[in-house]
A and B are shown apart, each in its own frame.
Chain A
Amino acid sequence: MANALVFIDNPGAALKKSSLELLTLARKLGETAVAINGELTDDVAATLGAYGVATIYQPSVEDLDDYLVAPKAGYLAAAVAASGATAVLIENSPEGKEIAGRLGIKLNAGVITDVVGLDADGTAHKSVLAGSYNTTAKATTPVSVFSVKANIVETEPAGAATAPTTAKVEVPADAAANAARISSRTEKPASGRPDLSEARIVVAGGRGVDGDFGPLEELADALGAAVGASRAATDAGWIGHDAQVGQTGVTVSPQLYISAGISGAIQQKAGMQTSKVIVAINKDAESPVFEIADFGIIGDLFKVVPQATAEIKKRKG
């Protein structure tokens, strides 16, 4: 009997940091099982063992990726039944939250999203209303489902490694009956930069970049950062909409957020003000972003940013 079940969707060749965080948190709750979708490589199985996983479940079918959400929730419901887990941990991506939502209804289980901390008794910590409140929440049901944000805990292997057993979980035959089917999919060219919602450092630009994200991209690459943008910059078409940080875009909470040429209206603040350290560069000394910046520079981003990039490259040798 496992206490916690962690869902890892298509682990690929190596587990992402956010998956390792889920495994680290799950161990607090007790014995951990993992339900994966997609291929399980020997390396991934070994890492799961290093993180103390007792059992690895795999679905009986291989077409879960052909549909949106519903069949994955059906698979997880079956995996919860097989494992006896009383807590389910899922990554806090849009799809992760949707899977958590449907799973909660299937299991009559309370769902808590956007979790930034988890106690051993199942109390979840959240940051709500754009980071203006910290709340704690708990499920009152026998099973709890948590979708957990990235970058909230240091990853840590178990004290003693395990040799996980693997088991197949029968996905209900009607799991895809009420699901939307993915009829075509086009991969976008990879930027080589980290995913915005998971990045440790984000460099973001707004109206002030005036169409040229080049200097910010160079700074981002020097720092190993993701590139974000304000709604003004994405609406102007200077960068893709998936780069938008803010209320209607991605909410980020990195170790370092560098804001360049963004005034910092409430819409933008909502998406980034739980960042650990905020650096702001703006020509206008009256920009609201300076009210929340740990380090602010009143100046021209086209001078400050390239100078910083060159200095970082110099120091990193």
Chain B
Amino acid sequence: MEETLKIVVLVKHVPDAQFDRHITGPGNTTDRDESILSELDEYALEAALQLAEERGGAKAGNEVIALSMGPSGAVNAVKKSLQIGAYSGVHLSDDALAGSDAAATSLALAATIRHLSADGRPVDLVLTGMASTDGETSLIPAQLAERLSLPQLTFASSLEVNGGTVVARRDAGSHSETVEAQLPALVSVTDQINEPRYPNFKGILAAKKKKIASLSLADIGVDPSEVGQAGSWTVVESAAARPPRTAGTIITDEGDAGIKLVDFLAAQKLL
């Protein structure tokens, strides 16, 4: 019998990239009114569910907790995760968190994960997607791992846990490698690792009975001055919408378009 696992999956509500996205407000933050569960987080959730199911699922005592931080809209990322299959959800929300940069966000998430470990059962694995599709800094996995003193295994394209050791495969342009570490660990997964399941009718009904714990900063023992703009180490000083690219010359091939292309490159001094 395999050991059981307590897994936290970080999920994020992000502006739908199919539509125009905007930066607003005094802190130059991204407008999240029309947000969805980040597509890339679904791979992390699927990886967590597979690891738990291999070990007998919820019945055997495994835990898959979807954690999201953010204002009221963020709870939708948790709800969607529960519909897909997460066993329980945690929504960290506090007005003081607004405007947190990566350093402040990782501090709040680290405190939340410590809080979730305080029931006597420490979190074994923190899973994240490979990036957030609002592509802000890519810093959270590394900074969270550093704050929790965890090894990080990022961009995993396969993942196994055997007797307290996590083994991941990473593929880069020039090489692929196998990496391993002892649990507890943080793992980010790529969109190659699995095929995420869709929520079905049964899952959607079941999700209504699953618990979402709402936590505030006081619950996780973080002072408001440690997060938000006050606790951030970086500040976005200005944001200007870039003028949209305008179309240039469009031609239809009449048998010599390849030559015209090279003429264009030569004129732009790109040859």
Contacts and interface: CB of A to CB of B under 8 A. Distances in A.
B163 interface: no
Interface string B162-205: 00000110011111111111000100000110000000000000
Given A98-B142, A188-B175, A129 B135 contact: yes
Given A141-B233, A266-B17, A133 B152 contact: no
A279 B253 CA distance: 14
Contacts, number: 271
Contact of B103 (A73, A105, A183, A298): A105
A111 interface: yes
A78 to B, nearest CB: 15
A292 to B, nearest CB: 4
B239 interface: yes
A181 B165 CA distance: 11
B213 interface: no
Contacts of A101: 102, 138-143, 146
Interface centre among A68, A184, A279 (most CB of B within 10 A): A68
A94 B156 CA distance: 13
Candidate in B23, B192, B262 with the most chain A CB atoms within 10 angstroms: B262
Contacts of B222: none
B47 interface: no
A179 B171 CA distance: 18
Nearest to B259: A311
For the residues of A in contact with B, the DSSP-based class is mixed
B103 A113 contact: no
Interface residues of B, number: 86
B233 A303 contact: no
- The DSSP consensus for interface residues of chain B is mixed
Interface stretch (B56-64, B74-82, B244-252): B244-252
Given A105-B103, A183-B180, A138 B235 contact: yes
B206 interface: no
Given A134-B239, A307-B258, A311-B259, A297 B251 contact: yes
A259 interface: no
B253 to A, nearest CB: 3
A130 to B, nearest CB: 7
B238 A136 contact: yes
B124 interface: no
A178 B103 contact: no
Of B147, B238, B245, most A-chain CB atoms within 10 Å: B245
Given A70-B151, A110-B233, A248-B130, A130 B17 contact: yes
Given A185-B177, A311-B262, A298 B137 contact: no
Contacts of B244: 132, 292
B147 A133 contact: no
B260 to A, nearest CB: 8
Interface in B237-271: 237-242, 244-245, 247-253, 255-262, 264-266, 268, 270-271
A117 interface: no
B154 interface: yes
A39 interface: no
Contact of A188 (B168, B176, B240, B270): B176
A308 interface: yes
A299 B253 contact: yes
B152 to A, nearest CB: 6
B258 A132 contact: no
Contacts of A315: 262, 266, 271
30 contacts: A68-B153, A102-B146, A104-B233, A105-B147, A111-B143, A111-B234, A112-B234, A123-B237, A128-B135, A132-B244, A133-B239, A134-B240, A136-B236, A137-B234, A138-B235, A178-B145, A183-B178, A185-B178, A196-B173, A255-B270, A281-B257, A297-B261, A298-B250, A299-B252, A304-B257, A304-B258, A307-B257, A307-B258, A310-B258, A315-B262
Interface of A: 68-70, 73, 94, 97-102, 104-106, 108-114, 123, 127-141, 178-188, 190, 195-196, 201, 223, 241-242, 247-248, 251, 255-256, 266-267, 270, 273, 277-279, 281, 285, 290-300, 303-312, 315-316
Given A186-B177, A247-B17, 14 more contacts: A69-B152, A105-B103, A110-B101, A111-B103, A111-B139, A114-B137, A133-B23, A137-B235, A178-B145, A180-B185, A183-B178, A196-B173, A241-B192, A285-B252
